[in-house]
Amino acid sequence: MYDKEVQEVLDKLVIFEKMYDQIRLVDPIIKKVLSYKNNIVNELPLKCFDFWAKSKVCNNCVSIRAFNENKTFVKVEYTPNEIYIVTAVPVELSNRRIVIELLKNTTDSMVFRNGNENNDNNSEIYEMIDSMNNLGLKDSLTGIYNRRYINEKLPIELTIASLSEQSLSIIMIDIDFFKKVNDTYGHLTGDCILKNFADTLLAFIKRESDWVSRYGGEEFIICLPGAGLEKAIEIAEHIRRTVENNAILCREHTINITASFGVCSIKPTPGASVENLIECADKKLYAAKNNGRNRVES
């Protein structure tokens, strides 16, 4: 059975039953979900994202955002046949925070009609929803994920690694002497360098589970779930050589750059934190820059 606090939350949900089609209690970190309907609670064997039938964690998880910021958030999401408005409400318990997801089926709403009376082809609507949901997670300059994505995704990766007893590696990367590029060629050329550099990093993302994000300025992070230190170093070194050996054409300038890499790999314990993981990679990056730049430290 559920503890007293959770049961008290469940008892209050009865007032929402006629307003929403699905009500769920979600732990967005471990993706555990309780379904509530007709005053009956079921602990589902599936993960919360399985409801959407996409076989992967949602990139723009509204519940992890509600969990992290302790605010209510709303998003539009879809299954292969239905469109929902999802409201995520954080609830503070004495020893943890959970999230109530209120799901309203809007498939037949006029808002989502696309001119097809049978609603057989929603591809354009789905593309619009995906674009809208990804907008807040993408860096407007480079097109890769942004700092918010790191803040939302990395805690999940850490928890999954801990539960599965697998390694988790991140690579923190900084373009060497980037300020000099801006000062010499101007900020438009600097932006061009950042875009090209991000594209180079993306080319090394081979698995669906791996991802790259702009941490800030000229700093980037690559996350490699399940990869050990040796593999992460191999990838970082390959990227380093590629960057060093390939000039970038930006406007009328051909520019050679290098980058420094800090690699951190851990096998998380239940007490591991995102802050410690990033701090570890940041220290290794600092060592790489302090030891001459254009190198990998681990």
Half-sphere exposure of residue 156, counting CA atoms within 13 Å on the CB side? 25
d(CA 248, CA 219): 18
**Helices 274-290, 147-164: inter-axial angle, 10-degree rounding:** 110
Q: What is the DSSP string of the chain?
A: ---HHHHHHHHHGGGGTTT-SEEEEEETTTTEEEEEETTEEEE-SS-GGGGGT-SS--TT-HHHHHHHHTS-EEEEEE-SS-EEEEEEEEEE-SS-EEEEEEEEE-TTSGGG--S-TT----HHHHHHHHHHHHHTTB-TTTSSB-HHHHHHHHHHHHHHHHHHT--EEEEEEEETTHHHHHHHH-HHHHHHHHHHHHHHHHTT--STT-EEEEEETTEEEEEEET--HHHHHHHHHHHHHHHHH--EEETTEEE---EEEEEEEE---TT--HHHHHHHHHHHHHHHHHTTSSSEE-
Active site residue 218: yes
Give the max Cα distance, the chain: 68
d(CA 193, CA 136): 23
User: Looking at 77, 101, 157, 218, which residue is catalytic?
Assistant: 218
Residues classed as catalytic? 218
